[in-house]
Chain A
Amino acid sequence: MTSLDARVGLELLRGMWRIRVFEERVGELTRANEVHGLIHLSIGQEAVAVGVCGQLRVDDVVYSNHRAHGHAIAKGAPLVGVMAELMGRDGGLCHGLGGSMHLVDVEHGLFGATGVVGGNVPLALGSALASRLLGGDSVAVVFFGDGAVQSGIFVESVNLATLWRLPVILVCENNGFAEFTPRSAHTNVERVSDVVAPYGLERETVDGNDIGAVRSVFGRFLEVARGGEGPLLLECLTHRLRGHYEGDPERYREALAAEEWQELDPILRLQRLLGVDGAELEREARDEVERAVELARESPFPSPELTAGLVYAP
């Protein structure tokens, strides 16, 4: 476990608890049919979202994937906006037109999650290109899972990003499973950082449940990208505690024993490192999430006219 300044550590812990509690609540609300649609939880992977997004500026652009709640919250999206979106309410980030897999919060630099695996990787390149051509120093970050790496668009994007030296940071959350199938059944290349090796970009594989490690390597990468150079690839080895989606019977893998998970859980690991029990932070997070749920429930469903009204930008 990588060491951390105590005050920074507590902030990171707070960030992870907010996501953990939020998503546990989303799971409950899914089963209660208050949250709708296909819900992919990132419980167990919080260290990546918080370790990465916590270091970004609001004008740095983040693209995400179908497992996006943690990224959105870590990038600054308000809990009520995310929760109301999952409930399909007008007060949602996207007025309820996007849903869990399509969270967007432009104000906080979240330019979008996508339900198509790998689909957002080139968009981050385009954002980085815009930053360069418009004379800015904002960077672009794209989160994707190890499943996306086997898509053609990933290879096309890595090639183009390296060719054009774009200031984009590719963050792979390698949780070992692409939907229901272990990585080993999809590819002979175990490490994503090895997949991109021939392109010569700076890359590193870290323990993605060690938030200090994620933070430290990403911080170094961020400096490079901020200077206008790139791309860089950070592979975070992690574990999703839940199934691919809420309701997934998970016939394809054995659940971790409680003791095993105690060893892996990024929150518990950080608490052990800092010598705190986290109960207070967890309680704060539960209160905040509960307020968000209440406010989201009060938000009406969007007007049906929105459907026709938002097809084209005026």
Chain B
Amino acid sequence: MSETTYLEAITTTLAESMRADPRVLVLGEDVAEGGPWGATAGLVEEFGAERVRNTPISEAAICGVAIGAAQSGLVPVVEIMFIDFLTLALDQLVNQAAKAHFMSGGQLRVPLVLRTQGGAGQRGGAQHSQSLEAWLTHVPGLKVAMPSTAADAAGLLVAAIADPNPVVLVENKTLYFRREAIPDDHEPVALGSARVVRPGRDATVVALSRLVHESLAAAEELAAEGIEVEVIDPRTLVPLDLETIVESVARTHRLVVAHEAVRMGGFGAELAAEVQAAAFDELDAPVGRVAAPFAPIPFSPPLEDAYLPDRHDVVAAVHALLAR
């Protein structure tokens, strides 16, 4: 075990993957300089500019080049600096990468990894803070992961690099400098395996990314009142480990879904629909939802703070379910 940050876990894993497999390359804006947070720091020194490729600010072309490279035998790891900028590359991701295997009748493969990050809380304003993961889950052919810890950031990245399909890793900028002790061996985390982060008997909270930590804090607070909450991190949205969630709900009979994305059309809606279909008779209350309001993210610090869902919202949602 060693103490590391979420970001260091990504950097170390990228370096290990590039050492292990000469087909792996990294490309994106400023990656040779390490990027704005340093996720790719030091890679160009070890692997050279052919494999750590700085690109112009051309998100669509970056993705397209990576797709073509993946179809011709490389394993590209693309960095899109902010998920907000993924909008510029959606044609490539949605129309080309996601469908190539299918439309070719299985002839083509796109072993592409796309790392990006979302989330508010850093006064970035409405174009540098969004949580757009639900869009990606709507596209058959893509896999979507959202690591909430350093160990999962490493393990999901290892699994994504080994996967023959396009995988999008949605990191969270506010988690980058969180420290934790993780195993030195970065074992892959199977895509489609949820993690029960904290066991409990009174309600299940399924939380994504930053909200996993907010939900754990909420669980601590609720435990002081004698309410034991089970917190589950699905870790990947596609594929989704529904079994672990349903198994939990069958014990707790109450479910809260929690994410930072806006409520309307958010992934929580899909979770709620799937769970009620699979375990309607187990539910003692309607599924509770913690999410951001249906508004762009405000810049002004007190407004942004008020906008962001947090532990207090999770506590309130659990209380509301138990009051029924």
Contact = CB atoms under 8 A, between A and B. Distances in A.
B68 A130 contact: yes
Nearest to A126: B68
B102 A97 contact: yes
Given A122-B60, A156-B61, A111 B105 contact: no
Given A119-B92, A153-B91, A160 B103 contact: no
A97 B103 CA distance: 5
Contacts of B108: 104, 106, 111-112
B50 interface: yes
A123 B70 CA distance: 9
Contacts of A112: 71, 100, 103-104, 108
30 contacts: A61-B72, A94-B107, A95-B106, A96-B105, A97-B105, A98-B104, A111-B68, A111-B71, A111-B108, A112-B71, A112-B104, A114-B95, A116-B91, A116-B95, A119-B92, A120-B64, A123-B96, A124-B68, A126-B68, A127-B71, A130-B72, A130-B73, A131-B72, A133-B51, A133-B69, A134-B73, A153-B92, A160-B61, A312-B141, A312-B165
A124 B103 CA distance: 18
Contact of A126 (B64, B91, B106, B109): B64
- The DSSP consensus for interface residues of chain A is mixed
Interface residues of B, number: 43
Given A111-B68, A126-B67, A130-B69, 12 more contacts: A104-B103, A104-B107, A115-B95, A119-B91, A122-B64, A123-B71, A126-B76, A127-B71, A129-B69, A130-B68, A133-B50, A159-B58
B61 A157 contact: yes
3 smallest A-B Cβ distances: which pairs?
A126-B68, A122-B64, A123-B68
Interface of A: 61, 63, 92-98, 102, 104-106, 111-112, 114-116, 119-131, 133-134, 140, 152-153, 156-157, 159-160, 163-164, 306, 310-314
Nearest to A105: B107
Given A130-B74, A156-B60, A119 B106 contact: no
Interface of B: 23, 25, 50-51, 53, 55-56, 58, 60-61, 63-74, 76, 91-92, 95-96, 100-110, 140-141, 143, 164-165
Contact of B68 (A97, A127, A310): A127
Given A106-B108, A312-B101, A129 B68 contact: yes
A134 B119 CA distance: 37
B127 to A, nearest CB: 18
Contacts of A129: 65, 68-69, 74
B117 to A, nearest CB: 22
Given A125-B68, A156-B58, A134 B74 contact: yes
A114 to B, nearest CB: 7
Contact of B67 (A123, A312, A314): A123
A306 B95 CA distance: 19
Contacts of A134: 23, 72-74
A78 to B, nearest CB: 14
